[in-house]
Amino acid sequence: MLQSATITSKLQLTIPVKIAHKVGVKSGERVHIVEEDGRIIITPMRQLVEQLAGSIPMPEKWKGRDIDEIIGEAKEEYFKSKYNSK
């Protein structure tokens, strides 16, 4: 499916609605962005997590929890330990 979009002055991009619906991304959802051979590849984080599922054991404390919640908690722990140890 070929669609066009415009990069704004803040380097932001709006994904065309037909493509967003086709791949199942929604407003506020996190995506993974990578440059590969001069191309920008955008992948829904949920898809990456599903691809990795089962490849490594999931800690019990994370089972059944939302990925954004886990990431937020990990960031909080990291920065708390980083700034409290100085």
Distance CA 71, CA 36 (A): 25
CA 20 centroid distance within chain: 14
- With H, G, I as helix, E, B as strand and everything else as coil, classify residue 73: helix
DSSP state of 21: H
The alpha-helical segments, DSSP class H, found in 4-52 are 17-23, 45-52
User: What are the pLDDT digits (tens) for 11-47?
Assistant: 999 999 999 999 888 888 888 899 999 999 998 888 7
Confidence of residue 69 (pLDDT cuts 50, 70, 90): confident
pLDDT at 6 over 90: yes
**In the chain, domain spans:** 59-86
At 30 the pLDDT is 87
Mean pLDDT of the chain: 86
**Alpha-carbon Rg for the chain in angstroms:** 17
CB 64 within 8 A of CB 42: no
